[in-house]
Amino acid sequence: MSVDERREQLIAVALELFSRRPPEEVSIDDIAAAAGASRPLVYHYFPGKQALYEASLRRAGRELSARFEEPMEGPLSERLFRVMGRYLDFVQSHGPGFAALLRGGSVAASPGTSAVIDEVRRAAHDQILAHLAVPAPSPGLRLTVRAWIANAEITSLEWLAERSVPLEELQLHLVQEFVASLALTAAREPALATELAAFLADERPEGPSGRLVQDLAGLLAVPGILDALTALAAPTVGPAESSAPGSAPAPTTSGPVDEPSAQATEGSADASPA
């Protein structure tokens, strides 16, 4: 093996081991044995376990980011569904060892590992915004995208630990949660609502968005739900039960519908530490 080949082989072997077990349970001896190399040889290429761990993580990060690439074709939710299939496949094969690092509890955390994680998150964020193709993404939309990425990360790591629902279900739900978050963001940002209309027009009944709309329509048939929503949709401006309306600044969301903010104001006023 050439110097480069040997180096790459050691990283590949280390990545395989670090993917299955937390770093504190993987030794340089384990890596040397799995690579069919001597301990001094491993040290010849890497100053220590942390350097090898970070090199493995960098490779894992590149592999994961490559899975976010998706042709700009077809309904958006179906593109995201395919990406999530590849992402969850990656989580299954590499998640067990890196979960603690991602959840903030790994002894191997360092500025180096932090940079890799941030880069993968940024790649996911940039891919999603590229597919959304919104001309000037608002801070609110960017925050929505980042929050959904965190949701996907945590949900998949939790899933890995418990496997409490089938993987295909998780894949569908994550995509549907993205669609719902997008709709929520559009509900408070009129400029995004037009983009949402165009996005929905391209979706198909059989795809994740269609199935979501059908599930939500089914929910309206459950006794009590439609009545409750109707009551909530038509605000009554009666004598307020609440105290001190107007004593705190009202939230500044501006949806297409105006609503009285007495209660929200009361909520803010109550929000001091108990």
172-201 positions binding a second copy, by CB under 8 A: 172-173, 176-177, 180-181, 183-184, 186-188, 190, 193-194, 196-198, 200-201
Among 204, 244, 246, 247, binds a second copy (CB under 8 A): 204
Among 29, 206, 243, 247, binds a second copy (CB under 8 A): 206
273 scored as a contact of a second copy (CB under 8 A): yes
Q: How far is the CB of 23 from a second copy (least distance, A)?
A: 11
Phi/psi for 240 (5° steps) reads: -70, 135
Contacts of 131 (CB under 8 A, 6+ apart): 70, 72, 76, 79, 80
Q: What is the DSSP string of 191-235?
A: HHHHHHHHHHHT--TTSHHHHHHHHHHHHHTSTTHHHHHHHHHS-
Touching a second copy, residues 112-151 (CB under 8 A): 113-115, 117-118, 139-140, 142-143, 146-151
Burial environment of residue 212 by CB neighbours within 10 A (0 to 12, 13 to 18, 19 or more):
buried
Distance between CA 105 and CA 114 in Å, rounded? 12
73 scored as a contact of a second copy (CB under 8 A): no
Touching a second copy, residues 13-72 (CB under 8 A): 66-67, 69-70
Residues touching a second copy, count (CB under 8 A)? 122
DSSP state of 249: P
Q: How far is the CB of 44 from a second copy (least distance, A)?
A: 27
Distance between CA 259 and CA 262 in Å, rounded? 9
210 scored as a contact of a second copy (CB under 8 A): yes
Touching a second copy, residues 215-234 (CB under 8 A): 215-219, 221-225, 227-229, 231-234
Q: How far is the CB of 79 from a second copy (least distance, A)?
A: 10
Identify which of residues 37 and 67 has a Cβ nearer to a second copy in the complex: 67
Residue span binding a second copy (CB under 8 A) among the ranges 5-13, 28-36, 40-48, 245-253: 245-253
Cβ atoms within 10 Å, residue 185: 20
Distance between CA 249 and CA 235 in Å, rounded? 20
Identify which of residues 42 and 64 has a Cβ nearer to a second copy in the complex: 64
What the block records as the tokens of 124 is 């996911």
